[in-house]
Amino acid sequence: MTRSHAFPAPRLRRVVHLLAFDATGHLLLRRSGHAEWAYPSLHVQLGETYEDAARRLLRTTRTEFVKPGEVSGRHWATPTGPARYERRFQIVHVRRATSEADPHQKWVLPSCVPLTGRWSDELRRLAEGYRGGWLPEGPIRLDWD
């Protein structure tokens, strides 16, 4: 049986977000396209792992990778809209660059993250829980609408 009206499958877009901690427990934020501060992020390329995308993203932040965090946050794809997004919040430990300061980046404590929007409270708790040591090791599922 042939259908006369076929609907395209929704696209799955994978995105990696970095929660990059320095040795003092500060988080890296970058200025987004809308002049707001956000966790560094980028789209994961076809065939690329989240970990490889996180390393690629780190190269743009003027930091040196030290080690991966023991916790990662995962938000599974939701079936709303023409595209579905699957997000990984990768926690990493980095060493700050000693070169000149970048006006598009800043370092803040997790409790002082000046973020607003859909995920700000959940991500602040993820960062504070990781820094405070009260989260279990491994992946954590993040649920929000």
Task: Note the pLDDT tens digit of each residue in 16-31.
Answer: 888 888 888 888 888 8
| DSSP designation for 48 | -
Percent of the chain with pLDDT over 70: 76
CATH of 11-136, one of 3.90.1530.30, 3.90.79.10, 3.20.20.80, 3.40.50.1820: 3.90.79.10
Mean pLDDT of 87-113: 78
* Burial (Cβ within 10 Å: 0-12, 13-18, ≥19) of residue 68: middle
How would residue 79 be classed by pLDDT, with cut points 50, 70 and 90? Answer: low
pTM of the model: 0.77
Residue 27 backbone dihedrals phi, psi, to 5 degrees: -100, 145
